Amino acid sequence: MFFSRKVITESDLVDLHGKVALVTGGNTGIGYATIEFLAQKGAKVYMASRSKEKAQKAIEEIEAELQKSGGEGKSKGSVHWFKLELSDPRSVKEAATEFLAKEERVDILVNNASHASFGPYKLNEDGLLDIMVVNHINHFVLTETLLPLLKRTASLKDSDVRIVNVSSLAHTRVKPDSFIGKESLNRQYGDSVFDYLDTYGNTKLANILHLKHLQTRLNAESAGIICLAVHPGAVMTVGATGFLNSVPFFGWFLKTFLGPLFFVSWKQGAMTSAFAAAGKEVAAERKKYEGVYLTPIANISEPSMYAKDERLQKELYETTVEVLREMGVVS
């Protein structure tokens, strides 16, 4: 998908001094650039990732960019590593609980990290599909555990709390009939390259379904939190490179010759995420942006009919809670 000519810059984002953000998977790609956007506007940003070494290297690079960029007369924000292991819901629950004790507020949560879109995929020790665990279940755990702090922050004067799930256009490839039971979470579509993409798309559909159900619940409580799902577009991330490399015969050709035409830089790919997390327009027209799906660059778009299905939203929520309860992650 080609990007529109619209461009998001720091001037399109609200001032984030005094605000706290948490971004998963931020040591590379879209997450890295999203963190840089938020830090440019003064936020204290946590880079939630597994590897301290990779995170520290990325943080040093971002800090160097912040120093070079100068600014608008205000100090830049700061970036901090926060250990988050997205392979196990138990460790995510523990980490999120630690975050609750660490910070008194959280204004922005960007669930950005993602399992690669190419397989083969496998079941973990809990009998759950690894890609669904990373892309949906563990971000579900993180979000729901942080929800009390997000709500408290939203109750503060002049608050602007947002939850962003980075989804994908790949969600439109799948047509699930239900999300009831563990087998629905473990749905796999086969062993070809495009079957892998469909399995990936199913997890990205889950990202939108969860956000829409969450928005409905929050609105019922008048919580004042905006939830947005984002398709970042075709971005030359590590995952995209891996997918192209997995395509037999043509993968190298696609990556080398067509990649520069169809794929954009990390910063361009992060523009829609940054807009969702801190866009001035979202702050000015809050109702308009509640529960929406954004595509490049910062356009409100229609997700698939399945993503809008309230039955599937409810089923996914209840099934995820049931699975986590069986694991002892939730009571």
Instruction: Identify any residues that bridge with 22 across adjacent strands, giving them in sequence order.
Output: 46, 109
204 is catalytic: yes
- The answer to whether the bond into 62 is cis (omega within 30° of 0) is no
Dihedral over alpha carbons 139, 247, 242, 33 (to 10 degrees): -70
| 3-state secondary structure labels for all residues of 47-113 | EEECCHHHHHHHHHHHHHHHHHHCCCCCCCCEEEEEECCCCCHHHHHHHHHHHHHHCCCCCEEEECC
Annotated active-site residue in 167, 168, 184, 273: 167
Annotated active-site residue in 196, 200, 293, 317: 200
d(C-alpha 255, C-alpha 232), whole Å: 18
Cβ neighbors of 27 (< 8 A, separation 6 or more) are 47, 49, 51, 54, 55, 57, 58
Widest pairwise Cα distance in the chain: 57
Give the full edge-to-edge strand order of the sheet including 293-295.
78-83, 44-49, 20-24, 108-111, 161-166, 225-230, 293-295, 299-301
83 is catalytic: no
Annotated active-site residue in 41, 76, 204, 255: 204
SS3 117: coil
167 is catalytic: yes
Closest to 294 measured CA to CA, from 305, 302, 286: 302
Torsions phi, psi of 217, nearest 5?
-65, -45
C-alpha Rg value of the chain to the nearest Å: 19
Catalytic residues, by residue number, are: 167, 200, 204
